[in-house]
Homo-oligomer: A and B are copies of this chain.
Amino acid sequence: MAKVKYSLKARSESPARLIADTGEFKIVIDEPTNLGGTNEGPNPVQYVLAALCGCLNVVGHMIANEMGFELKGLEFEIEGDINPAKLYGKPGGNRAGYEEIRVDIIPDTDADETTLEKWLELVEDRCPVSDNLANITPVKISVK
């Protein structure tokens, strides 16, 4: 299949606030005031959790449809822990980002447990955002 390119431009409005522009949509990213922001939007690591849920939703419905069971809806509870030591240049942090992300999916369906286990396996395998988090993604950053 032909590759699909996604792109956007973004511009800082302050040291913590950024507006990303997809061409059609603007995304406001900020930090709470205690982290130097103006709290006008979710912060970057919250957007990561939202993106993962959004992707699991799309892929979850697609695969339920392929497997032939009815999915009336999905709810998600998601969390992750960050040790901020590395971000702040302090000792003791193993890594800068989430050490782990945990997701509970609550499906509204009559499908049985075995079906849902198979469904989850396929969803995890085919979900783009899950893949980019769970596996290494080359990130190439240049300063112009």
Contacts and interface: CB of A to CB of B under 8 A. Distances in A.
- Chain multiplicity (copies): 2
Interface SS, A side: mixed
Interface residues of A, number: 110
B57 A96 contact: no
A68 interface: no
Contacts of A83: 1, 3-4
Contacts of A137: 97-98, 100-101, 133-134
Interface of A: 1, 3-12, 15-18, 20, 22, 24-25, 27, 29, 31, 35-37, 39, 41-59, 61-62, 65-66, 71, 73-90, 92-93, 95-107, 116-117, 119-120, 122-144
